[in-house]
Structure 1
Amino acid sequence: MNTDLFDRLGVPERIREIAGYDLFDEDLRTSLDAIAKRSAGLLEAPISMVSMILDTSQFIIGSYGLSGWVADAEGTPAEWAMCTHTVLAGEPYCVVDGTQDPRHADNPFLRMTGMRSYLGVPLIGGGHALGAHCVIDARPRIFTDVDRAVLADGAEKVMRLLDAYRLR
């Protein structure tokens, strides 16, 4: 395990903020899936996700187009998750072609899934980047400011929805 990554993601206040939402509520999950489906459609991407980045793992709480082992596991190790980079940056994160990008060329997730491009925007709650709303594609893509705006709109909808599912 990458202890530096664990230290950067495992900030107690950030983890407490994530734990403050009822992430297992079926109605919430259905609504998050709908947001992911909308983003995938608007950006013509085969996959869209809403995920929370914990200290060691990515937990997928909403998705569209996801299949196989990632869908079954509802996540990946944090080191493999492109969304981890979005959370650590605290701003939109873009990868045009992960196979050609030295930061991601050895990523097991990309090798196992065939995914190549990524655009994610952070989910901000309690002053922390908690997770990301993203699209992933099997082809290289240059994402635009309009694409980022579409995802940012989706992320705002996600956070409004999560606030309605805050544990009291």
Structure 2
Amino acid sequence: MTYDATGRLLLTPVDREGPERASRLRDLGLGPTADPVFDLFADRLAELTCAPFAMVNFIDENRQFFAGLHTPDGRHRGGALGALAARSADGAADRYMARDHGYCPHVIARRKALVLEDVCDYPRFAGNPVVDEIGIRSYLGAPLLDDLTGLALGTVCVVDIAPRPWGRAGLATIKAAAAELMEVVRGRGSLWP
């Protein structure tokens, strides 16, 4: 575990690949722009899992960007994520979240799926700001792994405001979704062989 100078447990893992990932995302033309294809993908993922929120999330050195977003109101706007979504100058909700909020940075660091049926069962995850500020209680996410570079570019994930028994079926669904989305990304990548 990593601790800061005051001895507090750091909840977000250190990301040594952030600059390389950000460069690869630029090469592929991914983030920081909302994409209707990714929004539709998030909609379908939410429907498959019966989750109120679903995201296609790309992470650079400093923040997370929801290139695809499904929200309960169906507007694809980050404002539904509450106080954690950044606001643009005109007041419209952006799709950014700080890197230390949420669980996707953990998926990036682990390079494998993360299933949290009730985040409050895990001290490391229960203290995350999304628990108190948004009310997130359950998370299911898988990394988007770039075959060419080996980098985890981002995640696909679903969250709920109530504990959820995702089980093996949920794990299989989120892993399959990540693999399917990477096929879409491969089709876009000008640098992909």
TM range (shorter): 0.7 to 0.9
Please identify the structure whose Cα radius of gyration is greater.
2
Whole-angstrom distance in 2 between the partners of 1:75 and 1:134? 15
In structure 1, the residue matched to 2:174 is: 151
Q: Give the TM-score, by structure 2 length.
A: 0.75
- Point out where structure 1 has 5 or more consecutive residues left out of the alignment: none
Which of the pair is proportionally richer in helix? Answer: 1
In structure 1, the residue matched to 2:115 is: 94
* Residues 58, 81 of structure 1: 8 Å contact kept: no
- Point out where structure 2 has 5 or more consecutive residues left out of the alignment: 5-9, 72-77, 87-92
Report 1 or 2 for greater relative contact order, CA contacts < 8 Å, sequence distance ≥ 6.
Answer: 1
* Residues 95, 118 of structure 1: 8 Å contact kept: yes
Count of residues paired in the alignment:
165
1:86 counterpart letter in structure 2: V
Q: Which runs of 4+ in 1 moved over 4 A?
A: 4-7
Displacement of 1:61 in angstroms is 0.6
Asked whether 1:18 is paired with 2:25, we answer yes
Q: Give the TM-score, by structure 1 length.
A: 0.85
- Cα deviation, 1:94-124, whole Å, max 9, x if unaligned, reads 1122233201222112211111100100000
1:21 counterpart letter in structure 2: L
Which of the pair is proportionally richer in strand? Answer: 1
Whole-angstrom distance in 1 between the partners of 2:151 and 2:130? 25
In structure 1, the residue matched to 2:97 is: 76
Cα RMSD between the aligned structures?
2.5
- Cα deviation, 1:29-61, whole Å, max 9, x if unaligned, reads 111111111111111111110101111211111
